[in-house]
Amino acid sequence: MSATTLDAGPRADARITLRGHLRHTGALIRRNLLWIRQDPESMFDAVLFPIVFTLLFVYVFGGSIGQSLGGGQEAYVQYIVPGLMAMMGMNMAQGVGTGFNQDFNTGVMDRFRSLPIGRGSVLFAKISVEMVRMLIATAILLVVGVLVGFDITNWPGLFAAVGLSAVFGSALMWIFLTLGVVMKNAQSVQAMGFLVLMPLQFGSSIFAPTQSMPGWLEAFTAYNPLSALADAARGLMVGGPVAQDLWMTLAWSVGLTAVMAPVAIHKFRTKS
């Protein structure tokens, strides 16, 4: 692509109205959904992840960790399902980064950037479709959770927890969209995601209470946004303190979006 075309990107964005951006975003959302329809294998992670992880943690760790919760496997089901909901957004966010990088390497993004459309529309459309995938994965998680014994007693709290997970997941997606732009290939995005995700996931309250962890690790979990999201989801869905974890999750979400969204859009505009 010529330098003239790339340099015209920000100026072209400035000439596009808000209505134009929304129209472009809608068209790109439709394009991405049609692509999923043509390639149903791209939904395997959203469908299989909640099934495999729910069954794995409930039946492998449920008995032992459940005892520490004072109720056995039944108590662990009530603990792990909200935690896995918090984990869902992070795993879907990693997928958006690898998919975005693959679109660059196959030339799809070069085609988009040569068109008179808002550059931000491409990224917003990508996030919107990934949010749909995340909601599908969350619905499957809840169905499997109910089948293994999860009790839904607070429907408003359930919907609030789903919304909170979606907000935090969308914030994480801006980080992985940036990685998808700056990394050379999808394998690099996956490797970087793994290095970031594993400590955050297992150094949190998603899978087990943090009271038995070493002091330094318990201190880390106290500031881990995944712990705040998991604890807020538990409070909303099964009862317990909510306010502090809720505001902490929202603060992380707003902060990550405010910092990373402009970075992702800028990197997309200027990528050569």
Degrees, nearest 5: CA angle 22-258-32: 40
Q: How far is 101 from 176, CA to CA, in rounded Å?
A: 10
The pLDDT value given to residue 171: 93
Q: How far apart are CA 149 and CA 135, in angstroms?
A: 21
Q: What local confidence, expressed as pLDDT, does residue 70 receive? A: 78
CB 267 within 8 A of CB 176: no
Amino acid (one-letter) located at 185:
N
* Helix, strand, coil percent content, the chain, rounded in steps of 5: 85, 0, 15
Give the torsion sign (CA, 128, 196, 253, 218).
positive
Contacts of 122 by beta carbon, 8 Å cutoff, 6+ apart: 28, 109, 112, 113, 268
Question: What does pTM read for this prediction?
Answer: 0.86
- The token pair that represents 186 in the structure block: 């999808």
> How many Cα atoms occupy the beta-carbon half-sphere of 67 within 13 Å?
4
User: pLDDT value at position 253?
Assistant: 95
- Total residue length of the chain: 272
Please list the pLDDT of the chain residue by residue as tens digits (272 residues): 444 444 445 555 556 676 777 787 888 888 878 888 888 887 888 889 999 999 999 998 888 888 888 788 888 999 999 999 888 877 778 778 887 788 777 777 667 666 667 767 888 888 988 899 999 999 999 999 999 999 988 999 999 999 999 999 999 999 988 988 888 888 888 888 888 888 888 889 999 888 888 888 889 998 999 999 999 999 999 988 899 999 999 999 999 999 999 998 888 888 76
Q: Residue 5's pLDDT is what? A: 42
Of 102, 93, 101, the residue nearest 45 (C-alpha): 93
Q: Please tell me the predicted confidence (pLDDT) of residue 164.
A: 94
- Is-contact 168 229, C-beta < 8 A? yes
> According to the model, what pLDDT value does residue 166 have?
92
Q: Are 183 and 192 in contact (CB under 8 A)?
A: yes
| CB atoms near residue 98 (< 10 Å) | 20
Collect contacts of 21-29 with beta carbons under 8 A, ≥24 apart: 21/118, 21/120, 21/121, 24/117, 24/118, 24/121, 24/125, 25/118, 25/121, 25/124, 25/125, 25/128, 26/125, 28/112, 28/117, 28/121, 28/122, 28/125, 28/126, 29/125, 29/128, 29/129
For residue 63, the number of C-alpha atoms closer than 13 Å in the C-beta half-sphere is 2
- Rounded Cα gap, residues 98 and 183, in angstroms: 9
Q: Tell me, what's the pLDDT at 116?
A: 67
**What are residue 16's phi and psi, to 5 degrees?**
-90, 130
